[in-house]
Amino acid sequence: MQKQALISVSDKSNLLEFAKFLVEQDYKILSTGGTYKHLQDNGIEVTEVKDVTGFPEILDGRVKSLHPAIHGGIMARRSDENHMATIAEHGINPIDIVIVNLYPFFEKMNTGLSEAEMIEFIDIGGPSMLRSSAKNFYDVTVVTDVNDYEVVMNEIRENGSTSIETRKLCAGKVFNLTSAYDAAISTYILGEDFPQFLESSYEKVMDLRYGENPHQKAAYYVDKTKNGAMKDFEYLQGKELSFNNIRDMDLAYKVVSEFEEITCCAVKHSTPCGVAIGDNILEAYEKAYECDPMSIFGGIIAFNREVDGKTAVELNKIFLEIVIAPSFTEEALEIFKQKKNLRIIKVKNPVSDKVTYVKVDGGLIVQSTDNQFSTDLKVVTEAQPTDRQMTDLVFAQKIVKWVKSNAIVVATNGQAYGIGGGQTNRIWAAQQAIARAKEKVEEDLVLASDAFFPFRDVADFAAENGIKAIIQPGGSIKDQESIDACNEREIPMVFTGMRHFMH
């Protein structure tokens, strides 16, 4: 009995070579719709599925392969005499190879299509054939990954058929794909951040050099259903990325995206070590560098504006892992080429996370993204902040949100001078940030805290060390003590009513 291969694909890459090979190996080719026409137009002998089923395509092509003549040929176990007798009784021939990839639902998401248009990209027949074939992988070779064409051809060429190991691997890829495909459809239709079952549609785009440490393996996956700053970025130069690189890139770009002004952020070990705004991109970098010249060494630098040649010259003066920005001038790119290992990353999409995930052992914690700032700012002291102080307080608040708790940021004139974070005690974070700031500047410093002061010690220490204004959420049962501490020294303090823990 002549072997049969069924082909129905939206991605026709390398298809003609594969189909010609199967014909040469005496396979009868069955096909549908656009794939049938593509094969026929290229001189490949092909039989249309409707000629096998005896039933035409109907409902604008929605129904064409959902038929016992197709699924019976796929699902029949060759080692089961009853199965083989049944399909023979009904004139059904076994189908040995199924080559299917799906309607481009992934690719059509976030393209502005209407709901009615998107629904037509939900593939029904394709997943059905794939799942049928994958279930019967002992007998059927199912191919959905274009990269597997060569593997299948080589095995048939050398052994006359594919190995059980290859068939099992290809079947596993099917369920991996269809689960992600169904998850994307569910995400689109439900439109919920917290559905009953948490689904995901992530595709691996690269293996990473290593994880947090060299002995850990790592890979990078992107969301097939949503865009974001760390998706589809353009890798302009440099060595391969590591796990830590991508985490730091993500944080750095999120920080600069908080600001409308020209902004630079330096990140080291997943925390900001310098943030500043400037009248131009070079000034923003120089001010961010000044915050912590030691930590910035070997760090990640992000900008929210195009990087020019003058700034590239300054960046090249120190060792950096990554420079990330929405664009680069040609002059800047030429200058960066002097450091071939320096990674230059061009961001194409805006920051757009709506939920964040934290993996725990045996579970996943999901929350809405902290993308808000309070607009209800209340001055709770007798002293009132000046306009400049209020501007600096808001600036520092936008940074402290991205610093590991407990977090304190000390700043002035659109420039962070001291960043203290990751401490188990808030006073320690304050001492750290203020000490670092005072190494560089003594005047007009303001302080932002990510959470309330549980005691008056932070307010006392800040006042005793030259801090001129404070912003914090408030909400402690001892708020009045901190207010009193500020009033005693005529320092303004602003309550936001909104905490920004980042653990």
Known catalytic residues? 135, 269
Residue 132: DSSP 8-state: H
User: Looking at the DSSP assignment, which residues form a beta bridge with residue 235?
Assistant: 345
What span, in angstroms and rounded, lies between the C-alpha atoms of 46 and 306?
53
What span, in angstroms and rounded, lies between the C-alpha atoms of 393 and 413?
10
* SS3 of residue 173 by DSSP: helix
What span, in angstroms and rounded, lies between the C-alpha atoms of 215 and 209?
10
User: Looking at the DSSP assignment, which residues form a beta bridge with residue 100?
Assistant: 8
Residues 6+ apart with CB under 8 A from 365: 357, 358
Helix pair angle (149-159, 164-190), 10° resolution:
160
What span, in angstroms and rounded, lies between the C-alpha atoms of 76 and 200?
32
Measured in whole angstroms, how far is the alpha carbon of residue 375 from the centre of its chain? Answer: 29
What span, in angstroms and rounded, lies between the C-alpha atoms of 399 and 258?
8
Tokens of 415: 């420039």
Residue 146: DSSP 8-state: G
Rounded to the nearest 5°, which phi and psi values hold at 260?
-80, -30
Dihedral angle, C-alpha 110, 113, 116, 119, nearest 10 °: -40
Residues 6+ apart with CB under 8 A from 11: 101, 104, 146
In three-state form (DSSP H/G/I as H, E/B as E, the rest C), the secondary structure along 2-71 is CCEEEEECCCCCCHHHHHHHHHHCCCEEEECHHHHHHHHHCCCCCEEHHHHHCCCCECCCCECCCCHHHH
- Do the beta carbons of residue 223 and residue 201 sit within 8 Å? yes
In three-state form (DSSP H/G/I as H, E/B as E, the rest C), the secondary structure along 335-402 is HHCCCCCCEEEECCCCCCCCEEEEEECCEEEEEECCCCCCCCCEECCCCCCCHHHHHHHHHHHHHHCC
Residues 6+ apart with CB under 8 A from 487: 381, 382, 383
* SS3 of residue 292 by DSSP: coil
Q: What is the number of H-type helices and E-type strands within the chain?
A: 18, 21
